[in-house]
Structure 1
Amino acid sequence: MFKAPYPPYDPTDKNCFSYETVYKRWPIILTGIIDHLHRLNHDCAMEMQQDIADDKRAELDVRVQASKDIIGTISKLKYQMARDHKLELIPSDNEPFVELYNTELAELSQSNKDTWFTAPWLYAECYLYRLLRSWFTTSPSMFWQSFDPFFGQKMDTLKSSGDAIYQLATTLHEVSEEKDTLESDPDKLGVLFKEMVQMCLWGNATDLSLLTNPSHADIQDLQSVGRDAQEKRKDFILRDDQDTVWAHLKTLKGGRVDFALDNAGYELFTDFVFADFLVTYTPYVSRVVFHPKLIPWFVSDVTPPDFRALIESLSDPSFFPPSNRETAEQSKAHVEAMVSRWKRYIDEGKFALSVPADTPLGPRGVTEGDVVKKGGFWTQPYAYWDMKERATELWEELAKESGLVIFKGDLHYRKLTGDVRWPAFTPWETAIGPLAGSFPILSLRTSKADVVAGVNGEVADKLDQEQGNKWRVNGKYALISFCPAKKQT
């Protein structure tokens, strides 16, 4: 296995974002889950006061008692986290990777790095979400076994995104009216491609694991779209490989593009818009494959149910608040036409999940099946430079079939680079280790963690002097990083 020449970020270093994550962000996220479960228990109690069947009442009672156990366990975890207790073994829950996580934890204990503030940040954060999953999936209530504690937040954020969604739907409609012109004007197509890349890039700003209490205004500001907004933001793109990746894309003919997805809701919507543009308006791409997470992950990451929920929500005329609907009737029609096309693409296989669309959370009882082999690697705690050894089938499929793999968001970037202290000027190809050259890689990332690579050293030094590490973690700056595949000999 590849070993980077630099160490991982130290969670005990109060100047690093990892310390703030353990000290502040994670307890807020856990408190949010507890509050959500309390609200659901209240709803159950109100329902039990109604005239309902005995079997339904018994089911609700089991659900409430089971949720109280989960609340107690999460509350205990908050206490232990704040006091830097040891990470506990993940209990056997009939879902993948329990042994994998526990083996890694045992190795960390050998070097006394198995507490909340001493474990490597990347491992500890992945471990946290896998541990949370185990407490729900082992519940005696079937309701909690398939429960995503973040689903409501994801849907609320999507509802708050109506203005941006309507605007992008209208933009895509305007593009459709110029389709004949685009086919004869590759330069104009290239300009639109860059607009789509930036739309997809800044759509990544809505990250619920960072926006622990976002307001409606916060969300709208982050999702501002249009040429004026993009023009203002271009100076904040610290690495910009748009020209290079466009030149690469033009070498494809009816090729396949893969999206390693990040956030559900609005960001997933922008991924669909980008995919729609590639398939509908360019001759270079005929199929897009989307790669979700198999369990609730980093609050807002896409799971198969989230994928289905986006299409269902956009198909529901009453989903967005009335203020949005009343002021955007024409755009509403554009959304309907766009989603109708997406449904057709899904039926035809032009749009596809990497796992069956009806894959349940977990999936329970599956440890070595095709679903896990194709989708499980994304919820392991490892750097992607070990993909060939740790997820051979996934690596081989991408290497043989994909013309471009787009990695969305900050966590994918951290895993691509191993989340280690690379000097910012480190070449991008160096920072992604042995994965470089395996297949064409495009990383679209607004920076929300310390690790940065492929940035001009003088620019990084100036930002460090002016802002400390804030520019690395506040989501204001972005990186468009491309690495081509090695030429076959």
Structure 2
Amino acid sequence: MTHPSPAPAAEDSAPVVVSTAGSFARSVLDERHPALIERVRRATPYPPELQRALDTLLEETTKGVVERLDDGEPGAERWRDESHYGQRWTDVPFLWAESFFYRKLLAALRYFTPGPWQGIDPFAPFKGAELASPKVDDELSALDRLPGLPEREQDRTLLLSSLWGNRADLGFQLSAGAEGLGERVPGLVVDDSVTLWEALETAEPGKVCLVADNAGPELLPDLVLADRLLTTRRAASVVLHLKPYPYYISDATTADVLACLDRITAAAGNAAEIGDRLRQAVSGGRLILRTHPFSCAPHPYARMPADLRADFASATLTVMKGDLNYRRLVGDRHWPATTPFAEATAYFPGPVAALRTLKSDVVTGLAPRTVADLDASGETWRTSGTHALIQVRT
């Protein structure tokens, strides 16, 4: 029996923590989280007791120390064994601080507590507004041009649409001529797309795990990509891994998938046909929606439980979407950017790919010349969302 290679040793790099003044992680704690609390407060008419709970959370995260969840909070036992309680929020690992912030936000809004606010997604107003945008109609109508493209161009267009799903100016903006979408999109710092397709084409059609990132317009191209994998027989089934509850503002849940399916099937033309196929794929067991508690855990995938490891191990390929999944995949650490992606993911139990727009400091697998050029550019290329990568370890 073989065992996966261990994750890279912790001493190879330091974990990302919040404390460095002026850092991206510090700006999330000092600016993004307080702004999010205010957005949530304005979006939904929460009663006074929930408003006060939001005030308490804001006070704790900006001026206090990390406090435990109340023992009566559902699921509190999963957070009891952590070592960060009593520390300042600025002194704990960034990944843990972010995850616990979102868990405490749900606790403040009684998401898990039986009563009138149980199960109310505090981020639903944001997700719904984005999905209802007229820009989404324009994006979906662009799918009508898809059948007129060469097969390889269709593959590349839909892969890059999934990669850049958070960029409304890219999305499904398909090529009408010989120049492909990939050649018109700057900022792709690693492109292992050929290896990705080869990994799917050299094996018998099997299971592909697609670990989703954001909901709304960003989830639509992920679903269209899943349809492409199924209709071209690159995959016999696609397992779409989702969050079991609202997380990180816009992370996709089962409810978000259903909303996207409704949005696609209500469109016209090729989009509606794709939507119908996706609905049939769900009902027929070829597109499987799956959640796991570890999807909301404040830990890297190197610590995944045995059942999740077995799920990924049985896949022809696991595709990790987005920035947070990338941080969890390679470890939220200050890796030298030239650290090989294969080394950082050596522990992973099967072939794995990352489709990621860069929105945080962590990155691996870049060529030395690429790093030098990006650093010399003066851009905040690691966090601006203007650069992206497709990385594969087979």
Asked whether the 8 Å contact 1:169–1:334 carries over to 2, the reply is yes
In structure 1, the residue corresponding to 2:377 is in which secondary structure?
helix
- Name the counterpart of 1:45: none
Is 1:135 matched with 2:108? yes
- Name the counterpart of 1:410: 323
Is 1:340 matched with 2:276? yes
Is 1:170 matched with 2:144? yes
Distance 1:422 1:149 in 2: 34
What TM-score comes out, normalization by structure 2 length? 0.90
Structure with larger Rg? 1
Aligned-CA RMSD value: 2.2
Alignment-mate amino acid for residue 72 of structure 1:
R
1:226 to partner: Cα distance:
2.2
1:262 to partner: Cα distance:
0.4
* Alignment length (residue pairs): 383
Alignment-mate amino acid for residue 76 of structure 1:
T
In structure 1, the residue corresponding to 2:197 is in which secondary structure?
helix
Distance 1:80 1:274 in 2: 41
Is 1:79 matched with 2:36? no
Distance 1:139 1:480 in 2: 36
1:256-295 matches, within 5 Å, as 256-280=207-231, 282-295=232-245
- Name the counterpart of 2:360: 449
Distance 1:432 1:153 in 2: 33
Asked whether the 8 Å contact 1:190–1:246 carries over to 2, the reply is no
Structure 2 spans left out of the alignment, 5+ residues: 1-5
What TM-score comes out, normalization by structure 1 length? 0.73
1:383-422 matches, within 5 Å, as 383-387=300-304, 391-400=305-314, 402-422=315-335
1:278 to partner: Cα distance:
1.1
Alignment-mate amino acid for residue 89 of structure 1:
R
Distance 1:289 1:221 in 2: 28
In structure 2, the residue corresponding to 1:221 is in which secondary structure?
coil
1:169 to partner: Cα distance:
2.9
Is 1:108 matched with 2:87? no
- Name the counterpart of 1:20: 27
Is 1:99 matched with 2:77? yes
Asked whether the 8 Å contact 1:133–1:295 carries over to 2, the reply is no
1:483 to partner: Cα distance:
0.7
Asked whether the 8 Å contact 2:200–2:234 carries over to 1, the reply is yes
Asked whether the 8 Å contact 1:445–1:480 carries over to 2, the reply is yes
Distance 1:229 1:11 in 2: 40
1:312-327 matches, within 5 Å, as 312-316=262-266
Distance 1:275 1:127 in 2: 31
Identity %: 28
- Name the counterpart of 1:368: none
In structure 1, the residue corresponding to 2:89 is in which secondary structure?
coil
Distance 2:18 2:60 in 1: 16
1:347 to partner: Cα distance:
1.4
Alignment-mate amino acid for residue 77 of structure 2:
E
Distance 1:128 1:11 in 2: 13
1:19-418 matches, within 5 Å, as 19-37=26-44, 40=45, 67-83=47-63, 85-92=64-71, 95-96=74-75, 98-104=76-82, 107-109=83-85, 114-137=87-110, 142-160=115-133, 161-174=135-148, 188-203=150-165, 205=166, 220-221=168-169, 223=171, 225-227=173-175, 230-231=181-182, 233-280=184-231, 282-316=232-266, 332-355=268-291, 375-387=292-304, 391-400=305-314, 402-418=315-331
Distance 2:384 2:170 in 1: 12
Distance 1:195 1:248 in 2: 18
Cα distance change on mapping 1:102 and 1:172 into 2, 3 Å: farther
Distance 1:393 1:27 in 2: 36
Asked whether the 8 Å contact 2:195–2:392 carries over to 1, the reply is yes
| Per-residue CA distance 1:404-437 (angstroms, 9 max, x = gap) | 11100000001111110000000001223522xx
Alignment-mate amino acid for residue 55 of structure 2:
S
Asked whether the 8 Å contact 1:93–1:138 carries over to 2, the reply is no
In structure 2, the residue corresponding to 1:338 is in which secondary structure?
helix
| Per-residue CA distance 1:216-259 (angstroms, 9 max, x = gap) | xxxx4364622378345544111110111111111122211111
1:315 to partner: Cα distance:
3.7
1:174 to partner: Cα distance:
4.1
Distance 1:138 1:297 in 2: 12
In structure 1, the residue corresponding to 2:84 is in which secondary structure?
helix
Alignment-mate amino acid for residue 94 of structure 2:
W
